[in-house]
Amino acid sequence: MSDSEILGETGTADSDIYGESYHRSQDESIRVCFLINKLAPDGAPTIVLNLVERAQKQNFDCTVCFFGGDDTLRRNFEDAGARVVDFGAVGEYPQFDPRSLPRMLRFFHQASFDILHCHLPYSQALGRLVGSVSDVDYIVSTQHNVPANYHPIERVAERITRSLDSRTVAVSKGVQTAFTGSSGIFDSDTQGRWSTIPNGIDVDAFASSVGSTDGSTVREEWGISDSDPLYLNVARYEPQKGQRTLIEAMEGVVDHSTSAHLLIVGWGSLESSLRTKVDDAGLSDAVTITGRVPEIHGYYAAADVFVSASAFEGLPVTILEAMAAECPVVATDINGVREVVLDGETGRLVPPDEPMQMAAAMREFTDKMSRERFGKQGYERVHDRFTVEQMVNRYLRLYNSLFDQ
């Protein structure tokens, strides 16, 4: 990979949104580099994509760097107008490939940025170190999960390098509290290094895409009739996501509703073992491990209820999507989730790793009128509190505040 391939072409953005409060010249773009482990279609990369899509339309010139591996969202970032730089790591866990480090060092030696925005602990630790000795004015990090869910080595490296941040952001109050013992939503008067900027999605666009998709196509694909209760889980197949608990819960669901079905959509290291667990439990007619699917809107359109059994979360985008799709949510009562799902109003919350309580909560939504009421209330909540516009505006104000110090 040549230096020119790494650096790409320079460009400018459209307009200055800051007016008199921003002391740089109005025709000068703010150069932001986003650094993340990989570009897989899951929570953190999707949040970065939403931020890039809107920042590029303002006075920002965006570059997205990743270490390697899954680059499913690469074209999306390029279509949004960002330059994308792949440091070329190879392997299932590309962030640990040492061959990517010289490429990263060469890139930052030649590049210049106003802001380096790091996501996920490995990228944060390396990005802070390299950014602090490169032509980078300010370093921002976003914490997408609680520290207990980080690999011990990553957790230590992230903590040791955290003082290099100009600002540190948590995606939920629960995440910030786990790190600092307190929390506060970012606003223009926020002081101090830490603040919370909740994740958000394009609620109207997502709801429109789900509404224009025929959910019966998904049901037909998996042999599920229109009258069968359909539960949906969308998550990586990793221990944190608790799909084993969902499989066990389905035993209690089908005892009361023999036609109920659960679709577990995702990808990851546990895919084979989850299929084995379904077969061993004799639930092959009730639970389907779909693997990765080409598009997700049809699944939300087909689903009656969204379910999540995660042990740890920051602020899960899939739950925001489910609420935008007017699906009631049954989820674990954990930090990040309880900030979104209101128990008894937009869904039900149960303790982690309790399949029987999960099953009981899932059975509560066999009534269509109940599903519709909870789904409508969930839509209203995500539309009021967790939009991509709210998230992006907070980040852009945070960037601006760096130059006003």
Q: What pLDDT, on a 0 to 100 scale, did the predictor assign at position 314? A: 93
Total structural domains in the chain?
A: 2
Position 107, amino acid: F
Position 252, amino acid: G
Q: What pLDDT, on a 0 to 100 scale, did the predictor assign at position 220? A: 97
Mean pLDDT in residue range 65-70: 93
Q: What pLDDT, on a 0 to 100 scale, did the predictor assign at position 94? A: 59
Q: What is the pLDDT of residues 283-332, one digit of tens each?
A: 999 999 999 999 999 999 999 999 999 999 999 999 999 999 999 999 99
Q: Are residues 258 and 399 in the same domain?
A: no
Q: What pLDDT, on a 0 to 100 scale, did the predictor assign at position 148? A: 85
Cβ atoms within 10 Å of 228's Cβ, excluding its own? 15
Q: Are residues 114 and 135 in the same domain?
A: yes
Which backbone phi and psi does 195 adopt, to 5 degrees?
Answer: -165, 170
Mean pLDDT in residue range 225-251: 96
Q: What pLDDT, on a 0 to 100 scale, did the predictor assign at position 42? A: 86
Q: Are residues 275 and 192 in the same domain?
A: no
Nearest-angstrom CA–CA distance, 375 and 347: 8
Q: Are residues 273 and 175 in the same domain?
A: no
Helix (H, G, I), strand (E, B) or coil at 209: helix
Q: What pLDDT, on a 0 to 100 scale, did the predictor assign at position 403? A: 87
Residue 11: pLDDT band with limits 50, 70, 90: very low
Q: What pLDDT, on a 0 to 100 scale, did the predictor assign at position 3? A: 39
Q: What pLDDT, on a 0 to 100 scale, did the predictor assign at position 5? A: 40
Q: Are residues 20 and 39 in the same domain?
A: yes
Distance between alpha carbon 34 and the CA centroid of its chain, in Å?
15
Dihedral sign (CA 147, 149, 150, 152)? positive
* Helices H / strands E in the chain, number of each: 16, 13
Q: Report the chain's mean pLDDT, rounded to a whole number.
A: 90
pTM of the model: 0.87
Strand order in the sheet with 194-196: 83-89, 60-68, 30-36, 112-119, 135-143, 167-170, 194-196
Q: Are residues 256 and 172 in the same domain?
A: no
The three-state (H, E, C) secondary structure of 104-163, written as one string: HHHHHHHCEEEEEEEECHHHHHHHHHHHHCCEEEEEEEEECCCHHHCCHHHHHHHHHHHH
Q: What pLDDT, on a 0 to 100 scale, did the predictor assign at position 27? A: 56
Does 133 score more than 50 pLDDT?
yes
Q: Are residues 277 and 173 in the same domain?
A: no
Q: What percent of the chain has pLDDT over 70?
A: 91
Count CA atoms closer than 13 A to 242's CA, side-chain side: 23
Q: What pLDDT, on a 0 to 100 scale, did the predictor assign at position 18? A: 27
Residue appearing with tokens 């002081």: 191
Buried b / exposed e over 325-342, threshold 16 CB at 10 Å, is bbbbbbbbebbbbbbbbb
Q: What pLDDT, on a 0 to 100 scale, did the predictor assign at position 261? A: 98
Residue 341: pLDDT band with limits 50, 70, 90: very high
Output the six-digit token pair for 266: 């995702």
Domain limits for position 22:
3-200+387-403
Residue 12: pLDDT band with limits 50, 70, 90: very low
CATH code, 23: 3.40.50.2000
Does 176 score more than 50 pLDDT?
yes
Nearest-angstrom CA–CA distance, 349 and 262: 18
CA dihedral 266, 145, 322, 207 (to 10 degrees): -100
Q: Are residues 193 and 213 in the same domain?
A: no
Nearest-angstrom CA–CA distance, 164 and 403: 17
Q: Are residues 209 and 280 in the same domain?
A: yes
Does 9 score more than 60 pLDDT?
no
DSSP 28: P
Q: What is the pLDDT of residues 351-401, one digit of tens each?
A: 999 999 999 999 999 899 999 999 999 999 999 999 999 999 999 999 989
Cβ atoms within 10 Å of 24's Cβ, excluding its own? 13
Q: Are residues 193 and 251 in the same domain?
A: no
Position 4, amino acid: S
Nearest-angstrom CA–CA distance, 234 and 290: 10
Q: Are residues 245 and 172 in the same domain?
A: no
Task: Please name the residues in contact with 251: beta carbons below 8 A apart, sequence gap of 6 or more.
Answer: 281, 283, 355, 359
Cβ atoms within 10 Å of 259's Cβ, excluding its own? 13
Q: What is the pLDDT of residues 177-233, one digit of tens each?
A: 999 999 999 986 666 899 999 999 999 999 999 999 999 999 999 999 999 999 999
Distance between alpha carbon 1 and the CA centroid of its chain, in Å?
30
Nearest-angstrom CA–CA distance, 10 and 22: 22
Residue appearing with tokens 């049809």: 298
Mean pLDDT in residue range 148-159: 90
Q: Are residues 52 and 80 in the same domain?
A: yes
Mean pLDDT in residue range 83-103: 86
The answer to whether 70 touches 38, Cβ cutoff 8 Å, is yes
Q: Give the residue ranges of DSSP H helices in 266-305.
A: 271-280, 297-302
Residue 20: pLDDT band with limits 50, 70, 90: very low
